[in-house]
Amino acid sequence: MSKFKLFSLLALAFTGAAHAHDRWILPTHFSVSAEDKVWIMADVTASNETFNVDKPMGSDRFTIITPNGERSRPSSSYRGHRKSVVDIHLAEEGTYKLYLDSDVSYWTSYEVTGKEGTQWLRNTSKATRADKLPKGAKNVTTLASQAQVMTFVTLNAPNDNYSLTNNGLELKPITHPSDIAQNEKAQLQLLFNGQPQQGVEVEIIKDGARYRNDLNALKVVSDKNGEISFTLADAGRYLLVAEFKKPLTNNALADEMGGQIFFTFEAVLN
Amino acid sequence: MIKKWVVLVVALFLIGKAQSTEIELSINLAKQTGEYHNPYVAVWIEDDAGKSVRTLLLWREGAKWLKDIRTWWRKVGRRAPELVDSITSATRPAGDYRVNFSTNDDTGQPLAQGTYSLKIEVVRENGGRAMLRQKFSLNGQAQSYTLKATPETNIIKFSIKE
């Protein structure tokens, strides 16, 4: 996919349009057992049909945080027309964080007479928007946005390798991701710039969306401690999508700061 | 003073009782048709908070397949490699197996009186899985339970002998 298309997807996501694309990393295994080392693979895609792949998100910035906190990269990758695939060598016991590294991107939205709906200028901050906005542009807002596409995989015993940066919207597991299980309460915390964030909207979508009439997304909102809790009746693979936006004051580059999280996990059979 | 003696005597009596308590388990792995791999089997005891206190039995193959004993692996095996090594045994074909255990915990200490659950997980490669649960109490009383058949297991009998 061209960069432009990906940015378009991002823009759509923030407009809340019906065709906003989800993104995910889907590993072949969330939990593995081995005497020593083991290989797993993961798919990277942008799609609106959990977990049927659609568009090939690049894996150029696929990042692995090993259980002892070191940054690593996939051993090899393949970019197909519907997904990218990476090979990951798990060489030490514990939990690996897998995510797509990303930068803050700036989006300026506006409305203008003669064009229907909200218009978007990509890669346009408050500092650079004046030159790019057409005459008569109104309701001009610049959003600084960042997305975390992430998952965790565990070899043998888990550890709390969550690798938080205290930057933007982040997910901090309370229940270890490898301990999310059918019919057991799971708890996660949402942080914004390192602080617990109330009011983050979260949707949890079960695998196999294509094969049922109702999406049946579980919707939850983070409480005053930034926490959400949920109990899943079915074992299986899930995509958690979290979104949050808040106004910025006295910021030279943006009026709002927004974050998205796409977190893939499995609920283990009990 | 007398009170203290009474407490001590009662305590010794209870420890004596606990040590003589035994678990008897008769597992029957169901015969299957077609391609058949011996099932992996884990049997363990959880306390009333759902925490494993004792793995009684582990019939398994290589490490790669331990994760397939899903519940036992998540709750017990992955954090306890020494335990896994010490209780590992080879898988068995379909049939009836009678095994006896003390009511000790994983460290060899007698389990306190209270409520527990016996968990039996049976997983067959290219086949089904069964997860059986039976609550019981260690209260000085003999007990006997019959766990109904699943596609993977025929009737399983489980008793506490005092």
pLDDT of residue A12: 44
Q: How many A×B Cβ pairs under 8 Å?
A: 40
Provide the residue range defining the domain that includes B93: 21-161
CA distance B29 to chain A (A): 20
CA distance A43 to chain B (A): 21
For residue A238, give the nearest of A199, A213, A209 by alpha carbon. A209
DSSP string, chain A: --HHHHHHHHHHHHHT-TTPPEEEEEES-SEE--SS-EEEEEEEEEESBTTB--B----TTEEEE-TTS-EE--SEEEE-SS-EEEEEEE-SSEEEEEEE----EEEEEEEETTEEEEEEEET--TTTHHHHSPTT-EEEEEEEEEEEEEEEEEESS--------SSSEEEEESS-GGG-BTTSEEEEEEEETTEE-TT-EEEEEES-GGG-SS---EEEE--TTSEEEEE-SS-EEEEEEEEEEEE-SS-SS-SEEEEEEEEEEEEBP-
For residue A29, give the nearest of A106, A88, A103, A101 by alpha carbon. A88
Domains of chain A: 3-104+143-267 (2.60.40.10)
The residue type found at A128 is: T
CA distance A7 to chain B (A): 39
The residue type found at A234 is: D
The answer to whether residue B147 sits within a structural domain is yes
Residues 55..94 of B with a Cβ closer than 8 Å to A: which? 62-67, 70-71, 73-74, 77-79, 81
Residue B153 CA to residue B132 CA, distance in Å, equals 9
The three-class DSSP label of residue B20 is: helix
Residue A246 CA to residue A33 CA, distance in Å, equals 42
Nearest to B74 among A35, A38, A181 (CB): A181
The answer to whether residue B12 sits within a structural domain is no
Interface test with A, best of B70, B75, B119 (most A CBs within 10 A): B70
Interface predicted TM-score (ipTM):
0.84
pLDDT of residue B45: 97
The three-class DSSP label of residue B140 is: coil
Average the pLDDT over each of A105-119, A225-239, B14-28, B144-158 and give the range with the smallest value: B14-28
**pLDDT tens-place string over residues B56-67:** 999 999 999 999
In the predicted model, what is the mean pLDDT of chain B?
A: 90
Q: What is the CATH number of the domain that holds B31?
A: 2.60.40.4070
pLDDT of residue B162: 86
The answer to whether residue B10 sits within a structural domain is no
Tell me the Ramachandran region of residue A166: left when phi exceeds 0, alpha when psi lies from -120 to 50, beta otherwise: left
CA distance A73 to chain B (A): 24
The answer to whether residue B1 sits within a structural domain is no
pLDDT of residue B3: 63
Chain B within 8 Å of A178 (Cβ-Cβ)? Answer: yes
pLDDT of residue A18: 32
The answer to whether residue B101 sits within a structural domain is yes
Chain A within 8 Å of B133 (Cβ-Cβ)? Answer: no
Q: How far is CA B99 from the centre of its chain?
A: 10
The answer to whether residue B91 sits within a structural domain is yes
CB pair distance less than 8 Å for A270 and B81: no
Domain count, chain B: 1
The answer to whether residue B62 sits within a structural domain is yes
**pLDDT tens-place string over residues B81-128:** 999 999 999 999 999 999 999 999 999 999 999 999 999 999 999 999
The answer to whether residue B7 sits within a structural domain is no
CB pair distance less than 8 Å for B77 and A179: no
Q: What percent of chain B has pLDDT over 90?
A: 85
Nearest to A33 among B63, B71, B129 (CB): B63
Would you write out chain A's pLDDT as a tens digit for each of its 270 residues?
444 445 444 444 444 433 358 999 999 999 999 999 999 999 999 999 999 999 988 899 999 999 999 999 999 999 999 999 999 999 999 999 999 999 999 999 999 999 999 999 999 999 999 999 999 999 999 999 999 999 999 999 999 999 999 999 999 999 999 999 999 999 999 999 999 999 999 999 999 999 999 999 999 999 999 999 999 999 999 999 999 999 999 999 999 999 999 999 999 999
Per the CB < 8 A criterion, the answer to whether A48 and A54 are in contact is yes
